[in-house]
A and B are shown apart, each in its own frame.
Chain A
């Protein structure tokens, strides 16, 4: 069987960053397996700008951003295979992929970085009511049709969900001559970044209806009408609040989910983010398998995906070189007001700073973020405002972590 030091599954922003960083950390035998015919993953279809503010201090389009990393991958001589889909991985870290030239191939890897990105929640997954007809399409799929293939999937559009891709597509399809009638959001707050609400909806006079969802879709063959209704605080529809829209398309932007079937198949522990549970090295419950980027938890800014990819690349390099020793196992849990925290465990010697990443459950102003263990707060940060659509990252120094023994809880406390 072919043996490789590091196999990276997915050549998007997380995978490329992991590969580059592993190479810089002394690992030469690296293979990236990418299912698409180009490197860069979903960024290829994200032709809007706004990428790279943290990484490069400039505003790039998706293709510009990805090409800076793809160029580095090529310059560093990192091997990658395109049009190559991983069919299976085993607990023993055998990666099986398929492509047209190599056929189906098994590779035994010393370490695997899992960087497969995420997929869009489907109309079936939200149990959308009404006729299942053409014209019900997820925002990312519509984006692919438009930006890669050059076709509009709708001309009179209602958007369900205020996730960022939906907002971006509201603007994009408007610019191509479509009419976006409204964006309807089930929650009482938007799930998109504020800058996208301003630049993609407000600038084009597209109304955003909060606490409203689709009661039903009607149409023969294709969407003809979408009926929205208000929901109460238990998410039940309120009779008499119906709003009808004659339209040809219902665009869905109702959530992104880590794409981790291959990890589920080998019983890797999965967290509430639907991604793998990881330790402070971004290592999953199977030693030597690391996860990063949107397949770990869905990010709102690609620059942070890149940074997480680097972390995973460094960690995989240390693992391959045998530099990691696990001496502790401290659980990290979300407390009051916090949806999830990554990492879920701290397992290595606490001789390094740890960046905790989390999202809040609902918008909140003027809070302390408390890091506590055994009922003692060992780190406290003030935040003027936190919203679910923005991932929070807080670095805790090794000095503060040095004395932590028991489970760590990250929670919010109103000031």
Chain B
């Protein structure tokens, strides 16, 4: 059995970034994920915002890592070939009282070292003509950005794998034992051996941590429900629009996304069940009311999807990033709720610089490559480039998803990458086939057949997403 230097539990954005950071060094690294795809839980269902970092309480890990992480995204998005735009965020005030709070928030921003600007009513309306008449001012944070959260994780893991990390999907950790100088990590399928374990298990990080020692913290899952609107005319909002933050979080936002959709949400409700990502109409109606208070003209008849995600909230309200009290070789990275996405690259740096570097003599690999192999995204390139590609491979000319204009060539490319999709949702998350107004009504049968053919299985074996999510149940009788 192979002894890994480091074993990472959880391939969400945090595990992905830690794996990628470690793949730089001459270490053997295993990345375990219980799902059949990477980034498929909390990293899959969130606001997709790279927060500026003005909002967390100064001095907290959240504040430090959010601010540091935000700065890293220009380089990361370029290296990992992920869509990222700094569109800026605006936090709105609707009364004199709230303007005072904005000023306090600006003080916080200064303490955190984040650039902000207070806007009066006129300046606010000039930048965002669709805000409610009630709005009297706003705090603009120009460095906030929007990102494609799906491909951020997929490409980060891919880059890690390309640099030597071993990814194991559908491996749910059941038990961990420390045997004097190494860990035995038993999953639903096999046993892994590693010198160091990093717990990036998100919603389940408390349960993983308990396998080592008793803990005094607990993940309280907190659900957020959202609307997604179709590509609508640009300009509904130009920034990510927030209300004033409260103890429940940053509140319901309205934002443009990287794909020029709009996102509205999230709600914030504690939930007993970590896996419960159902939506309900009452909660969404409430989200809608809050959003309309800020932007009255949101065209809710353009909604194409509702979804919900679960935050890994800790009672301590800050991230926990530290070794287990009884074992310095077991590192917990827990409670990574918002601004987790923005903080994730800085979390990886923090884990490696503060802990892993103390346990190993880190030597940079000579052949480390920080970049993923370039993806062909036909919607992003010129007609001439497109035609060159189609000439080299005619499958780039055949469009499978007519809403989002995704070609057969792009879907097949995904299948040849080092973290290929296995499911219809996996394809959707990576290349947007099925993301449009018909929500896969037209293209999902084609995607199902493409996957079945590629993997050499019956279409009956193709899943939409998780276990037991097979799309087709029976082949019809043949003549």
B372 to chain A: closest CB distance in Å?
Answer: 25
A256 to chain B: closest CB distance in Å?
Answer: 10
Q: Is A125 an interface residue (CB 8 A)?
A: yes
B431-473 vs A: 1/0 string, CB under 8 Å?
0000001111110110011000000000110011111111111
Complex interface: chain A residues within 8 A of B303 (CB) = 124-125, 127
B422 to chain A: closest CB distance in Å?
Answer: 14
Among B307, B394, B438, B475, point to the contact of A119 (Cβ < 8 A). B438
- Contact present for B468 and A99 (CB under 8 Å): no
Question: How many angstroms from the CA of A151 to the CA of B463 in the assembled complex?
Answer: 14
- Contact present for A152 and B472 (CB under 8 Å): yes
Q: Is B278 an interface residue (CB 8 A)?
A: yes
Question: How many angstroms from the CA of A123 to the CA of B444 in the assembled complex?
Answer: 14
- Contact present for A124 and B441 (CB under 8 Å): no
Question: How many angstroms from the CA of A130 to the CA of B278 in the assembled complex?
Answer: 4
Closest to A118 in B: B438
Q: Is the interface of A mostly helix, strand, loop or mixed?
A: mixed
Query: Which chain B residues in 362-395 approach chain A with CB under 8 Å?
Result: 383, 386-387, 390-391, 394-395
- Contact present for A150 and B476 (CB under 8 Å): yes
Q: Is A352 an interface residue (CB 8 A)?
A: no
Closest to A221 in B: B468
Question: How many angstroms from the CA of A123 to the CA of B279 in the assembled complex?
Answer: 12
Complex interface: chain A residues within 8 A of B395 (CB) = 100
Given contacts A124-B439, A127-B284, A155-B474, are A149 and B449 in contact (CB under 8 A)?
yes
Instruction: Identify the stretch in A136-144, A300-308, A364-372 within 8 Å (CB) of chain B at 4 or more residues.
Output: A136-144
- Contact present for A125 and B445 (CB under 8 Å): no
Q: Is B305 an interface residue (CB 8 A)?
A: yes
Instruction: Identify the stretch in B111-119, B202-210, B347-355, B402-410 within 8 Å (CB) of chain A at 4 or more residues.
Output: B402-410
Closest to B444 in A: A141
Q: Is A98 an interface residue (CB 8 A)?
A: yes
- Contact present for B438 and A120 (CB under 8 Å): yes
Question: How many angstroms from the CA of A125 to the CA of B439 in the assembled complex?
Answer: 9
Question: How many angstroms from the CA of A151 to the CA of B448 in the assembled complex?
Answer: 11
Closest to B305 in A: A124
Q: Is B58 an interface residue (CB 8 A)?
A: no
Complex interface: chain B residues within 8 A of A261 (CB) = 231, 403, 437
Given contacts A131-B277, A141-B441, A155-B473, are A104 and B305 in contact (CB under 8 A)?
no
Given contacts A103-B387, A141-B441, A216-B278, are A132 and B307 in contact (CB under 8 A)?
yes
- Contact present for B399 and A98 (CB under 8 Å): yes
Complex interface: chain A residues within 8 A of B397 (CB) = 98-104
Complex interface: chain A residues within 8 A of B467 (CB) = 220-221
Give the most central of B275, B278, B395: most A CB within 10 Å.
Answer: B278
Given contacts A87-B405, A149-B449, A151-B459, are A133 and B469 in contact (CB under 8 A)?
yes
Given contacts A127-B281, A129-B281, are A100 and B394 in contact (CB under 8 A)?
yes
Complex interface: chain A residues within 8 A of B104 (CB) = none
A47-69 vs B: 1/0 string, CB under 8 Å?
00000000000000000000000
Question: How many angstroms from the CA of A333 to the CA of B1 in the assembled complex?
Answer: 77
Q: Is B271 an interface residue (CB 8 A)?
A: no
Among A103, A145, A249, A259, point to the contact of B386 (Cβ < 8 A). A103
- Contact present for A125 and B278 (CB under 8 Å): no
Among A35, A176, A222, point to the contact of B468 (Cβ < 8 A). A222
Q: Is A5 an interface residue (CB 8 A)?
A: no
Q: Is B417 an interface residue (CB 8 A)?
A: no
Q: Is B27 an interface residue (CB 8 A)?
A: no
Given contacts A85-B402, A122-B439, A144-B445, are A100 and B390 in contact (CB under 8 A)?
yes
- Contact present for B441 and A122 (CB under 8 Å): yes
Given contacts A85-B402, A103-B397, A150-B475, are A130 and B445 in contact (CB under 8 A)?
no
- Contact present for B407 and A98 (CB under 8 Å): yes
Question: How many angstroms from the CA of A101 to the CA of B396 in the assembled complex?
Answer: 10
- Contact present for A134 and B470 (CB under 8 Å): yes
A149-166 vs B: 1/0 string, CB under 8 Å?
111111100000000000
Given contacts A153-B473, A221-B467, A261-B403, are A124 and B445 in contact (CB under 8 A)?
no
Query: Which chain B residues in 262-307 approach chain A with CB under 8 Å?
Result: 275, 277-281, 284, 303-307
Q: Is A402 an interface residue (CB 8 A)?
A: no
Closest to B400 in A: A85
Question: How many angstroms from the CA of A95 to the CA of B24 in the assembled complex?
Answer: 48
Complex interface: chain B residues within 8 A of A132 (CB) = 277-279, 307
- Contact present for B474 and A140 (CB under 8 Å): no
B79-115 vs A: 1/0 string, CB under 8 Å?
0000000000000000000000000000000000000
Q: Is A185 an interface residue (CB 8 A)?
A: no
Complex interface: chain B residues within 8 A of A102 (CB) = 397
Question: How many angstroms from the CA of A290 to the CA of B340 in the assembled complex?
Answer: 50
A-B contact pairs, 16 of them (CB 8 A): A98-B398, A103-B387, A119-B438, A120-B438, A127-B279, A129-B278, A133-B464, A133-B465, A134-B471, A138-B441, A144-B445, A153-B471, A153-B473, A177-B474, A220-B466, A220-B468
* Chain A residues with a Cβ under 8 A of chain B: 35, 83, 85, 87, 96, 98-104, 106, 119-120, 122-125, 127-134, 137-138, 140-141, 144-146, 148-155, 176-177, 216-218, 220-222, 248-249, 257, 259, 261
